[in-house]
Amino acid sequence: MKFKKLTLLSQSLLVVGLLLLTPPASAQKENKFELDPSTNMLMTGKGPGQDGSINPFAGQDCVAVVENLAKAPFSVRIQQNGVVLRTLEIGAKETKRIELKGSEELYIDTQKKTTRFTINYKQTSKS
């Protein structure tokens, strides 16, 4: 009887240990994208069900970290209420930190090549 309890306990500890040590791969996968040439995609700013990526800080000021995984550049467009505020180019294999206000929308605009990139969000540090 004690042997069964000990075996069950050791198996439970093993499972918990593996869960704690395994990186959250699913969170990384949902923020990795591939867009066809000449495509425009809203990444964040319109809300659940409309955004291409999940921004855990939606509606708040934050930083979007965009990493170009491809060999061709693409553009990031920031809009608010349909007005383009700024456009940035992200070069091949380049990473940029883009500050976003809570009401801004972030779009990815591809050019003549397939684009692969990741986008992750960080909370803006409060001073």
Residues 49-61 have pLDDT tens digits of 777 888 899 889 9
Taking the CA atoms of residue 29, residue 107, residue 41 and residue 43 in that order, the dihedral angle to the nearest 10 degrees is 40
pLDDT at residue 24 is higher than 80? no
- Number of residues assigned to the chain: 127
Give the model confidence (pLDDT) of 64-97 as tens digits: 999 999 999 999 999 999 999 999 999 999 999 9
pTM of the model: 0.72
Residue with tokens 């964040």: 44
Q: Domains of the chain by range and CATH?
A: 30-123 (2.60.120.10)
Cα–Cα distance, 28 to 64 (Å, whole number): 14
Query: For the chain, what percent of residues have pLDDT higher than 70?
Result: 75
